[in-house]
């Protein structure tokens, strides 16, 4: 490799740190791997501290990897297009950067995409990575992309190696000298409409949350806790819903009965959302009231309503007539008997 001119290099004592995040599957014939080997070799000759993260090996800890960006001056996102797109691991990493990454740190971080393909789509993949990083707020520098049908041809070609070395030198120059880039519209859109869910968290809290999310044992414990709480509240609701048993409903109607002169009618009240509660049959005649669970005896009026609405009526918060006017009670039969029902059972008193 040809040495860089002094005026384009930083002092050797000014160590540059570049992280490589490889999103491929690590297969032997993956053309991205020999490219990364050349890139790492060139960067190390330039006194760059290089650390490579193979996402397929760290797939259980991807959500915590954004914390590794803190000490880096620049990063390389490397992927292989095998049939369509850059693959899931790299997109998971970018998702984690969006949710848990330190946006202030990312805003000053350079990213160079390296996308090789064994099929069509390396340029689209490179563009997607650039757009994603710009939306995150980071800075994009020129990367590498290419179509490689035979990995052996790539490894044996001196021309390809020289080309990769040259592009790596350009990446180094951009990162080490922090070369200014023109603003991108992606960043403007991000500032106006894109708000990450963790926007109200500090970088330290986001990092801690990322570690929790990547801890399968912790996540499983939280799920169990949520399940227990759900069961607890469901039990409380069921207990509350079952507090009015059929016999208790009959007793409450019977206790609230108020004789009305000349009142003579029969009603059937159907609780639509509680099939276990049999229809309540009420017969009023000669100042007496009969309440029972009866589905066979004919009646003058049938009222259908939910248990929630029936509870509200029996608690005196609303009346049968008002509930009917609001559409919360459906009625069949003699509608003139509806008003009498509120007089016979004055729950609102």
Q: Structure pTM?
A: 0.58
205 or 47, which is more confident: 47
306 or 243, which is more confident: 306
With 80 as the cut, is the pLDDT of residue 155 above it?
yes
With 70 as the cut, is the pLDDT of residue 6 above it?
no
The bridge status of strand 110-117 relative to strand 265-271 is unpaired
327 or 1, which is more confident: 327
Spatial separation of the C-alpha atoms in residues 16 and 64, rounded to whole Å: 23
Asked which of 231-235, 248-252, 265-269 is least confident by mean pLDDT, the reply is 231-235
Band of residue 109 on the pLDDT scale cut at 50, 70, 90: very high
CB 210 within 8 A of CB 98: no
In this structure, the number of other CB atoms found within 10 A of the CB of residue 110 comes to: 22
**To which H or E segment does residue 269 belong?**
strand 265-271
Burial label, 71 (beta-carbon count in 10 A; 0-12, 13-18, 19+): exposed
Band of residue 205 on the pLDDT scale cut at 50, 70, 90: low
Spatial separation of the C-alpha atoms in residues 319 and 119, rounded to whole Å: 72
DSSP state, residue 346: -
CB 21 within 8 A of CB 78: yes
3-state secondary structure of 284: strand
Spatial separation of the C-alpha atoms in residues 77 and 145, rounded to whole Å: 11
Spatial separation of the C-alpha atoms in residues 79 and 303, rounded to whole Å: 67
What average pLDDT does the segment 230-254 reach?
69
What average pLDDT does the segment 155-159 reach?
92
Residue 89 CB partners (closer than 8 Å, separation 6+): 23, 24, 55, 56, 59, 62
**To which H or E segment does residue 59 belong?**
none
Quote the pLDDT of residue 149: 86
Q: Give helix then strand counts, H and E, for the chain.
A: 13, 11
CB 114 within 8 A of CB 212: no
Q: Which long-range contacts (CB under 8 A, 24 or more apart) does 180-186 make?
A: 181/139, 181/140, 181/141, 184/134, 184/140, 186/131, 186/134, 186/135
What sign has the CA pseudo-torsion 326, 328, 333, 337? negative
Full set of structural domains in the chain with CATH: 6-203 (3.40.50.360), 246-344 (3.30.1050.10)
* Backbone phi, psi, residue 137, to 5°: 105, 0
Spatial separation of the C-alpha atoms in residues 110 and 90, rounded to whole Å: 17
What sign has the CA pseudo-torsion 152, 155, 156, 162? positive
3-state secondary structure of 17: strand
Residue 130 CB partners (closer than 8 Å, separation 6+): 111, 113, 140, 143
Average pLDDT over all residues of the chain: 84
CB 148 within 8 A of CB 116: yes
Quote the pLDDT of residue 335: 83
């Amino acid at each position: 490799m040809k040495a860089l001119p002094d005026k384009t290099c930083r002092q050797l004592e000014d160590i540059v740190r570049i992280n490589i995040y490889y999103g491929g599957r690590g297969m032997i014939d993956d053309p991205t791997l020999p490219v990364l080997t050349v890139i790492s070799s060139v960067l190390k000759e330039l006194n760059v501290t290089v650390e490579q993260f193979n996402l397929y090996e760290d797939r259980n800890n991807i959500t915590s990897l954004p914390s590794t960006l803190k000490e880096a001056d620049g990063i390389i996102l490397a992927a292989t297009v095998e049939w369509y797109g850059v693959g899931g691991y790299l997109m998971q990493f970018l998702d984690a950067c969006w949710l848990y990454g330190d946006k202030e740190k990312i805003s000053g971080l350079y990213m160079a995409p390296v996308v090789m393909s064994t099929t069509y789509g390396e340029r689209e993949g490179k563009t997607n990575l650039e757009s994603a990083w710009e939306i995150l707020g980071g800075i994009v520098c020129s990367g590498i992309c290419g179509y490689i049908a035979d990995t052996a041809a790539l490894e044996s070609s001196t021309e390809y190696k020289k080309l990769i070395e040259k592009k790596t030198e350009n990446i180094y120059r951009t990162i080490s000298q922090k070369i200014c880039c023109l603003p991108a519209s992606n960043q403007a859109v991000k500032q106006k409409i894109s708000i990450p869910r963790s926007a109200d968290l500090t970088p330290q809290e986001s990092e801690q949350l990322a570690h929790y999310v990547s801890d399968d044992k912790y996540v499983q414990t939280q799920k169990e806790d949520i399940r227990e709480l759900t069961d607890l509240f469901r039990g409380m609701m069921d207990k509350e819903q079952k507090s009015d048993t059929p016999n208790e409903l009959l007793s409450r109607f019977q206790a609230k009965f108020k004789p009305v002169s000349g009142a003579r009618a029969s009603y059937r009240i159907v609780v639509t959302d509680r099939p276990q509660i049999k229809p309540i049959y009420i017969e009023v005649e000669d100042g007496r009231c009969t309440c029972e669970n009866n589905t066979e005896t004919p009646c003058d009026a049938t009222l259908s309503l939910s248990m929630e609405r029936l509870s509200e009526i029996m608690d005196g918060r609303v009346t049968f007539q008002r509930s009917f006017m609001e559409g919360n009670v459906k009625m069949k039969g003699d509608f003139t008997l509806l008003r009498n029902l509120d007089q016979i059972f004055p729950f609102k008193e």
